[in-house]
Amino acid sequence: MEYTGSCHCGKVRYTVAGEIGEVTECNCSICRRRGYLLWFVPRKQLHLQTPDSDLCSYTFNTHRIRHRFCPTCGSAPFGEGADSMGNVMAAVNVRCLEDVDLAGLKVRHFDGRNL
C-alpha cells in the first residue's frame, strides 16, 4: 500500500510504501513532546515530493537521528537514521499520513527515556 503524507501547511509532501504493522510510541524527550506515533521503514520506501532543501533538520543527544520538519509550520512528518545493523531507515510520523485510522493501530510502547 502507498500512503501520502505531509506537514500541516502542505509544503513538505511525501509518499511511503508498505504495510503499517505496528507503530511505536516512545517516551524520550522529543517523541513525548511532539506526540509521535512512529512507523519504521527502509528509507528507500519514503519518496519526497518536496525538495530536500525545503526541510529543516534537528539532532540532539547522540546526533544519530535527523528529525526532519517543515520550517514554515513546524510539523515533523518523519526522521532519518540507521537501525542497529546499519540499515538506513525512516521513522514516519503516522499522524502526518492521510487516511490512517489511528485508533486501529497496534501501538508498541518504547522506553526511550531510560536508555
| pLDDT tens sequence across 38-58 | 999 999 999 999 999 999 999
For residue 54, give the CATH number of its domain. 2.170.150.70
Q: What sign does the dihedral 72-50-91-105 (CA atoms) show?
A: positive
Total number of domains in the chain: 1
pLDDT of amino acid 62: 82
Question: Looking at the domain assignment, is residue 99 inside a domain?
Answer: no
Query: Does 26 score more than 90 pLDDT?
Result: yes
In the predicted model, what is the mean pLDDT of residues 48-76? 94
Question: Looking at the domain assignment, is residue 55 inside a domain?
Answer: yes
The pTM of this model reads 0.92
Question: Looking at the domain assignment, is residue 52 inside a domain?
Answer: yes
Question: Looking at the domain assignment, is residue 112 inside a domain?
Answer: no
Question: Looking at the domain assignment, is residue 107 inside a domain?
Answer: no
Q: Is 10 left (phi over 0), alpha (psi -120 to 50) or beta?
A: left
Domain range for 34 is: 2-94
Q: What is the mean pLDDT of the chain?
A: 95
